[in-house]
Amino acid sequence: MRFRPAFSCFALLAALCVPGVSAQTAPPGIAVTTPDVTQSVTTVPLLRDGNHLTVSLLVNGKYARFMIDTGASVCVITPAKAAQLDIRTDESEKATVNGSSKIEMLVAQAQSVRIGSVSVDDVNIAISPVTEGMGIDGVVGMSFMKDMVVTLDYTNRRMTLDTSGKPVDLPGATVVPIERDEYDCPIVSGSVFGLQGRFDIDTGSFENLILHPPFMRKNKLQSRFPKRVAMPTGYNVSGTVYGEYVRLPLLTIGEQDHRIDIADILTELSDDKKNGFTHKTLAGNIGAGIWSRFTVTFDFKRSKMYLQKNADFNKPFSFNRTGFFVSNASDDEVIALILPNSPASEAGLVAGDQILSVNGIATKAENRIPVGNALRASPAGTTLKIVYRRRGETADRTATIITRDLL
């Protein structure tokens, strides 16, 4: 349950975020029906926001949109949506929502949560504002998924839920053993630098891989990364997270004949001493930046994960090439952070500048895809013309940035 970075290269990169909707009415193009509850297998469409997957569902018979989060032990709903659905909690009832960071929230029960034709009654659901501002109403956690076979197809943006109890048959897939911790969150064995460890499987994390401080200290890992970029790296259910970005030569998921190797991973070395990721028995957290390179099938009851590589598997893990970051807390595209000795700093941009256009494309909601592509996907050596306005001024300024690899 680690959400998008606290600072993005551009706030409009959330190309498929869904606006808030009423409690009972789905937005145009998203069908919410009352399905045949006798069906044990259902496939539903997903929306993809970067590496996050969101789904339309019914909570107590009313529409909501949640993110799929295997790193959350229970489902989570915002206070506003909970009030609309008349979900109330006893102040004495609490649940640990994230296994790795052991964060407690007030918890209630939803009478039912239904996705497609699959419905689960009496689902534990925590009430928290953690997803406010993300365009969603909450997260689908393990309290809903724990007894199912769940397939996440990132390429085709769809999810399949299977409650039939039949074993999975996927010829050609890599089958990796998994376990579940005491909070029902899935764990997988893996290794970095040949060092074995246990890792959270966290589809709610926007990152690729996060290494926990106890594992890093025990194995003196920081000394293995001569090049590091220190900055705020994201936020979780209890606040802003800090750390350093590095490039990890190799991550192995699984062991022996049941393994997959992934090379040159943009990785976060967490310095999150207060807000989570301090678990002493877990080496780290594998997020959706990794899982999005597969079609992933979880057979939670049989403790197996099936990995099928998709077209993104060999795609390079890229770091910001401009050197400026816009806060996700703002809709005004105001720069929150400038990396020193970066193209942005050399072009004269400073924190507080408001970005108005990129290569002639205005920073409006309808342009989020082309603007996001220009800033995030442009290869090194690309020239970007940035029109911006400095705080307190009325005239526009122009800066020219030539992108380059910073990590």
375 burial (CB, 10 Å; 0-12 / 13-18 / 19+) is buried
Token pair 């070395």: residue: 269
341 CB contacts (<8 Å, ≥6 apart)?
A: none
- Per residue in 114-161, pLDDT tens? 999 999 999 999 998 877 667 899 999 999 999 999 999 999 999 999
C-alpha to C-alpha distance for 173 and 295, rounded to whole angstroms:
9
Same fold, 174-309 and 324-402: no
Question: By CB neighbour count within 10 A (0-12 exposed, 13-18 middle, 19+ buried), where does 222 fall?
Answer: middle
Which among 300, 310, 400 is positioned nearest to 360, based on CA atoms? 400
Superfamily of the domain at 7-162: Acid Proteases (2.40.70.10)
**pLDDT per residue as tens digits for the range 383-400:** 999 999 999 999 999 999
Q: H helices of 292-391, where? A: 343-346, 368-372
Which residue type is seen at 113? V
Domain ranges of the chain: 7-162, 174-309, 324-402
Look up residue 22 and give its amino acid: S
Percentage of residues of the chain with pLDDT beyond 70:
81
What is the band of 359 on the pLDDT scale with cuts at 50, 70, 90?
A: very high
- Average pLDDT along the chain: 84
Q: What is the pLDDT of residue 6?
A: 41
Cα–Cα distances (Å) from 67 to 23, 52, 160, 206, 254, in that order, read 16, 7, 15, 12, 26
Instruction: Determine the average pLDDT of the residues in 309-338.
Output: 84
Q: Residues with Cβ < 8 Å from 323, sequence gap 6 or more?
A: 338, 339, 342, 343, 344, 345, 406
Identify whether the C-beta of residue 237 lies closer than 8 Å to the C-beta of residue 98.
yes
**Phi and psi of 294, rounded to 5°?**
-135, 165
Closest CA to 298 of 171, 188, 206, 190: 188
Alpha-carbon distance values, 92 to 106, 107, 128, 141 (Å): 8, 9, 15, 21
Give this prediction's pTM.
0.83
Euclidean distance between the first and final Cα of the chain, in Å?
26
CATH number of 324-402: 2.30.42.10
> Which of these ranges, 27-41, 74-88, 282-296, has the smallest mean pLDDT?
27-41
Can you give the three-state secondary structure of 241-260, one letter per residue?
A: EEEEEEEEEEEEEEECCEEE
Strands 195-201 and 186-192: what pairing? antiparallel
Instruction: Find the mean pLDDT for residues 349-371.
Output: 86
Give CA–CA dist 292/154, Å, rounded.
6
pLDDT digits (tens, 9 = 90+) for 86-108: 888 765 555 555 544 556 678 89
| Two tokens, residue 36 | 């045949």
pLDDT of 98 reads 54
Question: What CATH architecture applies to the domain 174-309?
Answer: Beta Barrel (2.40)
* Contact indicator for 297, 305 with CB cutoff of 8 Å: yes
